[in-house]
Amino acid sequence: MANTFKGTGNLGGDPVLNQTNEDQDQVANFSVYFDRPVKNDDGEYEDKGGFWLDVAAWGKLAEDVMRVLRRGMRVSVQGILKVDVWNDKETGEEKTKLVLTVNEVALIISRIEFVQRRQSKVKSTDE
């Protein structure tokens, strides 16, 4: 599919949960900075032209994003790119913004210092 995007980057801030007016679905909105590190002559990495992208996670994925993700975390995201169009409330001017509607979000574990698992609520059949 031509409008599919997959990338790895850092969350710019904590996700924000919103309700849509139309169907009352939950959406978690956040932004990700996709860096482009390039090794220089000294062997160090420099960011060479990364970019920010607004991201939206819907439904159950929105709940999971809100529960787990925090500012600065490194994530891999995959989804469909679309252009949101709206009219500015003050000027009436038409505005556009590229948004990634994700169907997959994964933490990059090399940047995780601590994980706490909770007990499963389902009883094992072995007991």
Contacts made by residues 109-116, CB under 8 angstroms, sequence distance 24+ = 110/74, 111/73, 111/74
Q: Where are the domains of the chain?
A: 4-111
pLDDT in tens, 77-112: 999 999 999 999 999 999 999 999 999 999 998 777
pLDDT in tens, 49-72: 899 999 999 999 999 999 999 999
Q: Kindly tell me the burial class for residue 56, based on how many C-beta atoms sit within 10 Å of its own C-beta (0-12, 13-18, 19 or more).
A: buried
Domain 4-111 has CATH 2.40.50.140: yes
The two structure tokens encoding residue 119: 């007990």
Percent of the chain with pLDDT over 90: 63
Give the pTM: 0.78
Query: Residue 8 — pLDDT band, cuts 50, 70, 90?
Result: very high
